[in-house]
A = this chain, B = another copy of it.
Amino acid sequence: MDALKVAVIGGGSTYTPELIEGFIRYYDELPIEQITLMDISTDRLKVVGDLVQRMLGDLSIKLVRTTDRREAIEGAHFVLSQIRVGGLAARALDEQIPLKYGVLGQETTGPGGFAKALRTVPVMLDVARDMTRYAPDAWLINFTNPAGLITEAILRHTDVKAIGLCNVPINMQLSMAKFLNVPPEQVELQYVGLNHLSWARVLVGGRDVTGKVLETHWGSSGGHVDADFLRALGMAPNYYLRYFVHPDRVLREQLTAEETRAEYLQGVEAELLKLYADPDLKEKPKLLETRGGAHYSTVAVRLIRAIAQDRREVHIVNVHNGHSIPDLPPDSVVEVPAVIGSSGAHPLDSGHLPPAIRGLAVAVKAYEEMTIEAAVTGSEDTAKMALFIHPLVPSWETATALWNDIKAAHQAYLPQFK
């Protein structure tokens, strides 16, 4: 794999410069021959593509832009996916609709994530099926959210070699390293759970320092969940746990906020695209960082490097469970440390979940399983039941009302439900 070809599905995303910046940063170690940006928007391909071209400068990376998915996929060694079906407008709805029913609105968690999943699963299964046809040996690196659920849908319904990625694990590691004042690679996370619902014990030099990290109200989740909760839990949680620990607090914040996160991001996006259009801009602008996705490129490029160069090093990824977490179904996808090399991702034996997190992890995974089933079959009963069993949905009445609203709002993207 000397001359790597990479395809980016959703290449017109404003995130793309972040990704490209990573390929440039690691170019010496991981030379790329060709990057293909595929998007359904030619406008985006123009603006983002032009910036990417300028960023690449003299590097001998060939840049291709296309609206033809087949063209993008054919010949690719790695396909990166970062699509957003319905765009930020749909996300705004995802964040608003639940509020009507006293449920928090969040892009990937709860009813918001559910709606996003229903819109996205069919499109990502199409992408995966194209890969089966046109690039059967390629790897799918999936950032498309909800990343764990989408990866599970692909592994359950296609033969594509897919790995789901998220930047939460690396951000946890970096923030702990900063707090503990050690180099990041000295921080070992004994990490279990699902994408956006995970917990870790923290070790340095083989010593468990979780207690110390939690006592001092560790940064990444600090402020996010209460200190006495952390102490009782005894594990460092993914900051998305906040939505399950303090849902009322989050709901109050959202109800009193001037705009949803999606609305805010629509402004950022517009501004970013304006910046990108500046022919003098030749690097990722600072503003992009406020978009979220810090270190997104680092984890993506390192993962590709580990596969391409058969490094067999440990990354925390979304991967087929097997018996890694024996409390979850073998066919499900979990977010755990895995050895990554040319033969793919091999999860470590993670052991049984302690009771304090077992129920939540199993319940959310069952919700994901039913959501995938609903997205694939178009069964409304399954859709409602998936919503109902989500721990943030308090009752069947709420599940039903949410479903009716979601179905009506996203009708154009939910053809499977007639």
A interface with B by C-beta (< 8 Å): 1, 186, 188, 190, 203, 205-207, 225-226, 228-229, 231-233, 245-249, 307, 310, 312-314, 322-324, 326-327, 329, 337, 339, 341-344, 346-349, 351-352, 355-356, 358-360, 362-367, 369-370, 381-382, 384-385, 388-389, 391, 394-398, 400
Contacts and interface: CB of A to CB of B under 8 A. Distances in A.
Contacts of A385: 232-233, 356
A201 to B, nearest CB: 9
Q: How many copies of the chain does the oligomer comprise? A: 4
Contacts of A205: 1, 310, 342
A317 to B, nearest CB: 13
Contacts of A364: 359
A369 B247 CA distance: 24
B396 A394 contact: no
A233 B379 CA distance: 13
A349 B324 contact: yes
A326 B324 CA distance: 10
Contacts of A358: 362-363, 366
Contacts of A339: 314, 337, 339, 348
Contacts of A398: 248
Contact of A322 (B341, B349, B360, B396): B349
A342 B369 CA distance: 32
Contacts of A370: 355-356
A363 B244 CA distance: 14
Given A312-B313, A348-B348, A367-B359, A395 B342 contact: no
Contacts of A225: 396
Contacts of A310: 186, 188, 205-206
A366 B294 CA distance: 35
A211 to B, nearest CB: 12
A341 B312 CA distance: 14
28 contacts: A1-B205, A188-B312, A190-B343, A203-B342, A206-B343, A232-B381, A232-B382, A245-B395, A245-B396, A246-B396, A249-B395, A312-B314, A322-B351, A323-B323, A323-B326, A323-B351, A339-B348, A346-B348, A346-B349, A348-B348, A355-B389, A356-B370, A358-B362, A358-B363, A359-B359, A359-B364, A362-B362, A394-B394
A38 to B, nearest CB: 25
A395 B248 contact: yes
Contact of A248 (B232, B356, B394): B394
A188 B346 CA distance: 12
A228 to B, nearest CB: 7
Given A232-B384, A348-B348, A349-B348, A307 B394 contact: no
